[in-house]
Amino acid sequence: MSESILISDALSKQCAEKAIPVQELPENQGRTQKIQYYVQSGSQAGMFANRLRKNAKKLAQWSKRQHVHCYRLYDADLPEYAVAVDVYHGEQCWVVVQEYEPPGTVNRDKADQRLAGILTEIPRVLDVATTQVFLKIRRRQRNTEQYEKLGDFRRFYRVEEGGCRFWVNFEDYLDTGLFLDHRPIRLAIQSQAKGKRFLNLFAYTGTATVHAAMGGALSSMTVDMSNTYVDWAQRNFDLNQLGNEHKLVRADCLQWLEEQARMRHKLQFDLIFLDPPTFSNSKKMQEVFDIQSSHVALIRHAAALLAPNGALYFSTNFRRFVLNREALANLHFEDISAQTIAEDFARNTKIHYCWKITHV
């Protein structure tokens, strides 16, 4: 788990052209000021710049062939520069930099200088304005910690994927509204959705539903318990002009699934996408959720709504996840993880696991 640290507008203005247009958490003011000082001092990162340039050249050809507009350009390729760099192409090119929290054995000043070097090189190599670069610092969280809203800028930007349009936000939340690693499974859903009834669980901003709808889904139901994400999903639906046959439901997915699975006349879906969080102790949920201990009941309940010849796609990004096949012996599992890892995530094949589940 992790959290974003954003640098304040006031502090950014002090840094003139090299400002990073993001907020800051108060307890990190000292560090962000140091990073900005190093940026102003002209810190460089030659090895990082060379690797970024090489990756940009390679992925530019791939992204053009595949019509991919948002992708991961760099993911801690060099241990000394432990960041992920994501590129979003829309009306402009935006770059999101996520620093992985360095271990305690790493000298903090050295880590800050390296991060400043990264922030200096990205605008040069990618030819973007510094105001189009967004910094997020990820740190490990205990299971008892939850993500919180990080800002209130409310600035949204429009991007495209597979003929679908989405609103993304680079400042207010840890994630942008579009999980880049799930692009292949979203495109697979789009290609299989024609004439089918689609269910999207733990739907986040509803991106998979938009893909299903644009692929010709007969109808859909999109379930998430967050008001923020349900509203965001509605905006994505409106952006793509989805009709009333595509329903949004604000509900605790665990409770909603359990209730639906118990119904005598159950809802039936031909295509289901189930992408739960690794952990949640949200106050809106009736109980603490942990994917390892809860996945059997979760998959059973989802499968109860799966039509006889339907397909349920289950994904998790919990790296230590172990699927309990014995407890789910009445279902057939096909591990399609390798098929859902695109070229921009080839260095990090454990970014998620994915199974196609059907009735035996």
Do residues 117 and 41 lie in contact, with contact meaning Cβ atoms separated by under 8 Å?
no
H or E segment to which residue 159 belongs: strand 157-161
Domains of the chain with bracketed CATH: 9-138 (3.30.750.80), 179-359 (3.40.50.150)
- C-alpha angle 215-206-132 in degrees, rounded to nearest 5: 105
The predicted structure's pLDDT at residue 110: 85
Distance CA 273, CA 276 (A): 10
Do residues 166 and 210 lie in contact, with contact meaning Cβ atoms separated by under 8 Å?
yes
Do residues 196 and 174 lie in contact, with contact meaning Cβ atoms separated by under 8 Å?
no
User: How does pLDDT run along the chain (360 residues), one tens digit per residue?
Assistant: 333 333 333 333 333 233 343 334 344 556 666 666 566 666 679 999 999 999 999 999 999 999 999 999 999 999 999 999 999 999 999 999 998 877 777 788 888 889 999 999 999 999 999 999 999 876 654 443 444 566 788 899 999 999 999 999 999 988 999 999 999 999 999 999 999 999 999 999 999 999 999 999 999 999 999 999 999 999 999 999 999 999 999 999 999 999 999 999 999 999 999 999 998 876 666 678 899 999 999 999 999 999 999 999 999 999 999 999 999 999 999 999 999 999 999 999 999 999 999 999
The predicted structure's pLDDT at residue 104: 73
With the CA atoms of 332, 338, 344 and 348 taken in that order, what torsion angle do they form, in degrees rounded to the nearest 10? 100
> Other CB atoms closer than 10 Å to residue 194's CB: what's the count?
11
The predicted structure's pLDDT at residue 2: 37
Do residues 98 and 6 lie in contact, with contact meaning Cβ atoms separated by under 8 Å?
no
For residue 224, what are the contacts with CB-CB under 8 A and spacing of at least 6? 202, 203, 204, 206, 230, 233, 249, 250, 251, 253
- C-alpha angle 233-345-175 in degrees, rounded to nearest 5: 35
Minimal CA–CA distance to 164: which of 247, 68, 272?
68
Q: What amino acid occupies position 26?
A: P
